[in-house]
Amino acid sequence: MSDELANPNTWQYVCYSLPVIIPLSVFMFNKCCSNKYNTLKSKVVLITGASSGLGETLAHEFYSHGCALILTGRNPTELERVKSDLLSRNDVKNVNKPCTLVLDLIDQSTIEVVSQKVLGVFGRVDILINNAGISYRGRADATTAEVDYKVMLVNYFGQVALTKALLPSMIHHKSGHIVAISSVQGKIAVPFRSAYTASKHALQAFFDTLRAEISHHKVKVTVVSPGYIQTNLSLNALTGSGSKYGIMDESTMAGYSAEYVAQQIVEAVVDDEQEVIIAPLYARLAIGLRYIWPRLYFWIMKYRANRYTSQKM
């Protein structure tokens, strides 16, 4: 030990300094973390499926950081409600008034037209949040082709078409961030979710490819794969016949809050993350197991399917 460290006065000085150093360090850390969100101020953010659920929560989260929002969805009344809720917030100082536009991803013919309206609002889109989606519950062999097509149309083709419509503007500005809200089920397939998992697998693959192809244009891509979220997604899910599922799953009720997921997504955007998995440990282990020991993974999924079937009989 050096003479300086061995000196009792040195240790005494350190001890006296701790009550100041520790709070100061915490303050500086929190200040650093809060300042990083300043990069979002006045960024133009387009959110699909913004009239409810995670999309609505994302709107509040981005709005709280000073973003200029373009909220899209199929229900104009609900979009205006979200807009009104944002404007009525007293805890947020945001000079940018949100804009609402009706967008139905099922109607592919309108996506190009709406995208031009979008660009006409603020002149650009800095951050595109591909959030809109539809879920599904049913047996693959008892699901109509129309349901398979509709789920794929909303969860994949609609997102891709909107991205392609806005991408030239991002490339022109040499700036932009595309966020695709996928799912853990975009990485692993589970029983009775065939149409949904297929659409999310496709979404994951497309945006992984796009990320590599447009990186030299300084346009970023983030794929977010959440686990279960406490929203009405399962209530509005389609069954194999095309009717609404109408049941709140136990797994959905036990999922993450939409607020927590939205915060994680915003943080991923600020930190320029390429991929984010928001899921508990067992889901992460399942993702790894699928690739490390597929035979065991397939056996577990078969067991899960058989157990579910036997419970319904």
Question: Catalytic positions, please?
Answer: 196
Residues 83, 291: Cα–Cα separation, whole Å = 43
Per-residue b/e over 156-185, b at no fewer than 16 CB within 10 Å? bbbbbbbbebbbebbeeeeebbbbbbbbbb
SS3 136: strand
Q: Which residues contact 15 (CB under 8 A, 6 or more apart)?
A: none
Q: Distance between CA atoms of 220 and 210, rounded to whole angstroms?
A: 9
What does the block give as tokens for 231? 């929203």
Q: CB–CB of 135/233 below 8 Å?
A: yes
Instruction: Name the residue among 204, 192, 197, 196 with its Cα closest to residue 151.
Output: 196
| Burial of 208 (C-beta count, 10 Å sphere; 0-12/13-18/19+) | middle
Neighbours of 281 (CB within 10 A): 7
Contacts of 13 (CB under 8 A, 6+ apart): none
